[in-house]
Amino acid sequence: MQPNALVMPAASGVDTDVLIVGAGPTGLTLATALVARGVRTIVIDRQAAGANTSRAAVVHARTLEVLEPLGVSPTLVARGIQAHRFTIRDRDRVLVPIGFEDLPTAYPYTLMISQAVTEGVLLERLAALGGQVQRPHTLVGLTQDRARATALLDDGSRVSARFLVGADGMHSAVRELAGVPFSGGSYGESFALADVRLSGTVPRTAGVQAQRP
């Protein structure tokens, strides 16, 4: 059974079982699992299609195991680079080597693959099952009672759902509107994340964290 792909017209209401806010890897994984089981599911995301940038570059063995039932692990493995060793280096000097060859798994490595590619693979699988992401939509209001949650979107439309899932990251609108506290601090550090092609003596199958001189 496949749910209908629902389009949300402005200033009207849509009813569904699950509304997922956020179409990153977490939101797409949940949506794919639900749609595969015939659960009516709507996914919204504030970004326009193709607007994603680098955020993460590794999928770990346990994640690949969890994704196996969704049928996406072989595609991810084919599109990524299997890093059987992770190293922290200072220029050409290896400071910390970590090997994965002895992990008790069918995936004894970390898979180097950009988050954009991971999301693309999950999105392809979701579409194949009949689901889709509605974008760009931003959650701006939320009310709930004992039975349902009603989400107000930036275009004036409303979505009523039995369950509303916040998969919208560290600055979650769902968490804020639901009044869920998120305590903690921040580190006084800065770093850059980029997808690059390396040349030289670094092995192709070794994950590398370079330490700045």
pLDDT of residue 3: 39
pLDDT of residue 190: 80
Mean pLDDT of 181-208: 71
| Distance between CA atoms of residues 130 and 2, nearest Å | 6
Mean pLDDT of 16-33: 96
Residue 6 has pLDDT above 60, yes or no: no
Q: 21-30, 83-92, 93-102: which has the highest mean pLDDT? A: 21-30
Percent of the chain scoring above 70 in pLDDT:
85
Residue 174 has pLDDT above 90, yes or no: yes
114 vs 34: which has the higher pLDDT = 34
Mean pLDDT of 68-90: 92
pLDDT of residue 206: 54
Answer whether 57's CB lies under 8 Å from 64's CB.
no
| Distance between CA atoms of residues 99 and 112, nearest Å | 15
pLDDT of residue 56: 82
Assigned CATH topology for domain 13-81+113-181: FAD/NAD(P)-binding domain (3.50.50)
Residue 148 has pLDDT above 90, yes or no: yes
Q: What mean pLDDT value characterizes the chain? A: 85
Mean pLDDT of 133-159: 94
Q: Which residues pair with 160 in a beta bridge?
A: 15, 150
Mean pLDDT of 98-115: 93
69 vs 50: which has the higher pLDDT = 69
Length of the chain: 213
Sheet containing strand 41-44, strands side by side = 133-134, 41-44, 13-21, 158-166, 149-153, 139-144
pLDDT of residue 203: 63
DSSP 115-138: HHHHHHHHHHHHHHTT--EE-S--
